[in-house]
A and B are shown apart, each in its own frame.
Chain A
Amino acid sequence: MTRDELRAALLDCLSRIAPEVDLARLRPEQQLRDQVDLDSVDWMNFLVAVHAALGIDIPDVDAARLTTLDQLIDYCTARLR
């Protein structure tokens, strides 16, 4: 899976959790939860959606330090390798 495909897959997961968000305006290097205003329930739903879409089960300890879209893409790239 290329980086662009991974980005698209992650954004697709996000759009299902937060359908009202304008994904085009997301800054990949900035804090995701601040930009999208995700609460803990949204964040958990996002992690569940990522697991369903990519088969990656992100543990709590890892999820806590994944704060930007870029970091998520890097992390998933490494996990899929």
Chain B
Amino acid sequence: MIEFCLPSLGSDMDKGTLLQWRVKPGDTVRKGDIIAVVDTTKAAIDIECWHDGTVEALLIEPGAEVPVGTLMAVLREAGETAEHVRAQLEALRAPAAATAAAPLATQQPLPDAAPLSVEHGRATASPAARKRAAELGLGLEGLSGTGAGGAITLADVESAASKARAPNRAEAMRQTIAAAMSRSKREIPHYYLADDVPLAAATAFLADRNATRGVNERILLAPLLLQAVARALQRYPEFNGSFQNGAFVPGTGIHVGVAIALRTGGLIAPALRDVPGKDLDTLNRELLDLVQRARAGSLKASELADATITVTSLGDQGVGSVFPIIYPPQVAIVGFGRVLERPWVVNGAVKPTPLVTASLGADHRTSDGHRGGRFLASVRDLLQQPAELAKAL
């Protein structure tokens, strides 16, 4: 039996609300298929299944809010019988029966603005509605009933609960970011370094490469910067990973989180996976796709869970440099400012040169400024060899 649980959605998201199942019992699922869509404070997330199997039972109803790790569905493995899965599921459920009465979801109070009628005296409600409202922590007095004589039905309670849950996405995201950044500034002793990086070679390389290419194949500077960070991490692995339970845990791969500012407010940092192994065309294509999906709200759970470092680029239309704050439990974040043509001394002569300020915010518990400086210098040096960065390792 394959247990499908709500996966981790990043360190700052510990629960989700099931929006819809993309599969039904009996469906065949392949590794990597999206089988559910779950809403979080940041976005609706597509949840993949990481096993081949056949859906046996869906255990969570759409609308339910569940913590990360909750068993949501069970699947049958190849050659396994339905009876075998059922028996295992029963065994799994038995010890949980004692606590089954506990409400699954933690409900927020109804917003003040909710257009609900206020009734005086004791509300009339069906026993099922009364029980469910108690489970959800909802007061019946605020609800309007659609049953006989205005009685509150189970459906009314579910509907009110769903309205209460309807997220004010911007506000919820603000709270999520506030929690993550407060934790970062409270727990992580940051140190900051910055360096100006000449981009004459990189921009010339891209101009040359893009000159004969159609719009579909044109390469941006951003993937080259991301690749420089990823390759530098291969030489300085102490910046790639997380700090957990008092110790540094190296990343299993170099997955670069890309900070994307959302126009509706807030930001999200999904990851490009295994960056060093990708050539520039692949990385460019994946970045364009990732940003577009982040904007459209169709990211995958795996993209939100496993970044081993974050890169933020605030300079595209804005400022010259950024002092980035680490996204916990990661241990480093690299920032890039706006590319500006500035005076730069080359072979004893001042020459107008495109420059970008690269900065590093790093966790002093896991690294020191000296190594941080070497890491940032490595990013700078790698960007002087753009043709090498463009190749997959």
Contact = CB atoms under 8 A, between A and B. Distances in A.
Contacts of A18: 263, 295
A4 interface: no
Contact of B263 (A21, A47, A48): A21
Contact of B218 (A16, A42, A60): A60
Contacts of B291: 39, 41-42, 45
Contacts of A44: 215, 218, 220, 288
Interface size class of B (residues with CB under 8 A): 20 to 34
B292 interface: yes
Given A19-B296, A41-B291, A45-B288, A51 B215 contact: yes
A39 B296 CA distance: 15
Given A17-B295, A20-B263, A20-B295, A40 B222 contact: yes
A58 interface: yes
B221 A40 contact: yes
A19 B186 CA distance: 36
Contact of B288 (A16, A48, A51): A48
User: Chain B's interface: helix, strand, loop or mixed, by majority?
Assistant: helix
Q: Interface size class for chain A?
A: 20 to 34
Interface string B212-232: 001110101110000000000
Contact of A20 (B214, B222, B264, B287): B264
A64 B215 CA distance: 13
A39 B317 contact: yes
Contacts of B263: 18, 20-21, 36-37
Interface in B252-309: 261-264, 287-288, 291-292, 295-296
Contacts of A41: 220, 222, 287-288, 291
Nearest to B287: A41
Residue of B261, B262, B287, B295 with highest tally of chain A CB at under 10 A = B295
B353 to A, nearest CB: 19
A33 interface: yes
A74 interface: no
B295 A51 contact: no
B210 interface: yes
A80 to B, nearest CB: 16
Contacts of B221: 40
A39 B216 CA distance: 17
A40 B316 contact: yes
B215 A57 contact: yes
Given A20-B264, A21-B263, A39-B317, A45 B292 contact: yes
B292 A40 contact: no
A15 to B, nearest CB: 10
A64 to B, nearest CB: 12
Given A17-B292, A21-B263, A51 B214 contact: yes
Contacts of A45: 288, 291-292
A14 to B, nearest CB: 11
Contacts of B316: 39-40
Given A20-B264, A41-B222, A41-B288, A48 B295 contact: no
Contacts of B288: 41, 44-45, 48
A10 B369 CA distance: 49
Contacts of B220: 40-41, 44
Nearest to A60: B210
B214 A57 contact: yes
21 contacts: A16-B292, A18-B263, A19-B296, A20-B262, A20-B264, A20-B295, A36-B263, A37-B263, A37-B317, A39-B291, A40-B220, A41-B220, A41-B222, A44-B215, A44-B218, A45-B291, A47-B218, A48-B215, A50-B215, A57-B214, A58-B215
